[in-house]
Amino acid sequence: MSSHGHSHAEVRSHRRIGEALDLFHIPEHSPGIAAWHPRGLIVYRALERLVRELGEARGYQEVRCPSLWDWSIWERSGHAAKFSDKMLSVEVDGRRAGLRPMNCPGHAELFAHRPRSWREMPVRFSELGLVHRNEQSGEVNGLLRGRAFCIDDGHVFCRDEQVPGELIACLRMASEVYELLGLAPRAELSLRPAVRLGDDALWDRAECALRDALEAVGLPFDERPGEGAFYGPKIDLHVFDSLGRAWQLGSVQLDYQLAGPDRFDLSYVAEDGRPQRPVIVHRAVLGSFERFIGLLVDHLDGRLPLWLAPEAVRVLPVGRAHAEAAGRFAGALRQQDVRCEIDPDGPLSGRVRRALDMRIPVLAVIGDREAAIGSVALRRGSDSVLEAEQAAVRRLGDEVRGRR
């Protein structure tokens, strides 16, 4: 059936594209959790590398915390009271334990594990943290809303005067990633809810700090009264799918509560030798990797940039006589970290069509003319250019490494 027979929503469905491009599927016997195929995991890992590199450059230290915590931890964090209908719990050693729906309590516990000095502030932890949430079955929607997903989570424990700089740095990091992938997020500033922790003066200060950071970075935003978290206001970054529905990806939240005496009672030794309470900034750049990839695949109709595509180049020798030249070219590409495959058999037109159906960004055809002069015919979209092999390898390698 041609795509004309399908609605726009179906044609651009991230699930349909994901299966067609051999990236992932949702197994029948899974409670709404994706199974990643080898090609899909290449995309996933490339995004992980991106956020790790950006985090390391900004002073984040990567950690890994338990996925399962005693229920008392969730009572202390406030999640048990506010969020228990979305949590999955099990019994361990005769006690109730909860699978983490969020990573913050683990990072707070890690900060508290040893004494901290004002000199080491801010402490920035990052984790590619797997979380589980018991979403309603009617809400589960492929990668966009699943019951288990990985968040590129970060928590910054800082001194009060460090808050403005940290908020701006978080928003700049997010903007850099979205811009790189051609996404234009809409920021929403969610303000104090009716049921909340802390007094109005503290909320005034926190809301003002987030507003200032948005203005400093130049991100346009809408305000959402009453939509903040119970412990603090937050900035959510929304991206639209091809149907015009908004999905939340990254977020930056300012939290004066989790470190408090009723919660994790965190402190560091201030310059005057007295204990001082840190402020916590919660941030996620991509948010859920699964949702981010689902929206990206939908947004780009599966046409991923060279550095992200599971297969950047498909090498097509015209006939048997060109197999050696094709093998040499593919080997040179792999040396430059350019992912490629050779498709040697069958009529060339069929192989070209197969590669285009798989949304391979670059096709490299090698026939008599190309083999004779050590060149390759590169096809990208509707353009085809003849280029010297070594120059092509160098250029494609630079493009992949530079994430252009």
Percent of the chain at pLDDT exceeding 90: 81
C-alpha to C-alpha distance for 337 and 148, rounded to whole angstroms: 31
Q: Which percentage of the chain shows pLDDT scores above 70?
A: 97
According to DSSP, residue 387 is labeled: E
Region 196-212: mean pLDDT is 92
Task: Name, in order, each residue with C-beta under 8 angstroms of 166's C-beta and a sequence gap of 6 or more.
Answer: 122, 156, 158, 281
17 vs 5, higher pLDDT: 17
pLDDT value, residue 346: 94
DSSP letters of 208-265? HHHHHHHHHHT--EEEETT-SBTTB-EEEEEEE-TTS-EEEEEEEEEESSTTSTTTT-
Distances (CA, A) of 298 to 143, 209, 247, 303, 304: 11, 34, 12, 9, 10
Report which secondary-structure segment, H or E, holds 148. Answer: strand 148-158
Report pLDDT for 282: 96
Is the pTM for the entire model greater than 0.85? yes
Query: Which residues of the chain form CATH 3.30.930.10?
Result: 3-299
From-to residues of CATH 3.40.50.800 in the chain: 313-401
* The pLDDT of residue 9 is above 80: no
- Per-residue pLDDT, 193: 93
Element (H, E) at 96: strand 95-99
CA 388 – CA 351 distance, rounded (Å): 23
SS3 146: coil
Closest CA to 24 of 11, 12, 1, 41: 41
Burial group, residue 163, by CB count within 10 angstroms (0-12, 13-18, 19+): buried
- Please write the tens of the pLDDT for every residue from 177-194: 999 998 888 999 999 999
Phi, psi of 262 (to 5 degrees): -85, -10
Question: Could you read off the pLDDT of 283-332 as tens digits, one per residue?
Answer: 999 999 999 999 999 989 999 999 999 999 999 999 999 999 999 999 99
CATH of 3-299, one of 3.90.1150.10, 1.10.10.10, 3.30.930.10, 3.30.450.40: 3.30.930.10
Does pLDDT of 5 surpass 70? no
CATH classification of 313-401 is 3.40.50.800, yes or no?
yes
DSSP 194: S
Could you tell me which of 265, 264, 233, 230 has the C-alpha nearest to residue 77? 264
**Which pairs count as long-range contacts for 37-44, CB under 8 Å and 24+ apart, including other chains?**
38/310, 39/310, 39/311, 40/293, 40/310, 42/310, 42/339, 43/293, 43/304, 43/308, 43/309, 43/310, 44/289, 44/293
pLDDT of the residue at 32: 85
Element (H, E) at 151: strand 148-158
Average pLDDT over residues 258-272: 94
Better-scored residue on pLDDT, 271 or 142: 271
- Which residues does residue 366 pair with via DSSP β-bridges, in sequence order? 317
pLDDT band at 6 (very low <50, low <70, confident <90, very high): very low
Residue 135 confidence class, pLDDT cut points 50, 70, 90: confident
Q: Do residues 377 and 365 lie in contact, with contact meaning Cβ atoms separated by under 8 Å?
A: yes
Which residue(s) pair with 384 in the sheet?
379
Say if residue 27 is preceded by a cis peptide, omega within 30 of 0.
Answer: no
**pLDDT-wise least confident of 71-75, 79-83, 279-283:** 79-83
Q: What is the radius of gyration, based on Cα positions, of the chain?
A: 25
Average pLDDT estimate for 157-162: 96
Residues near 248 by beta carbon (within 8 Å), at least 6 away in sequence: 236, 237, 238, 287
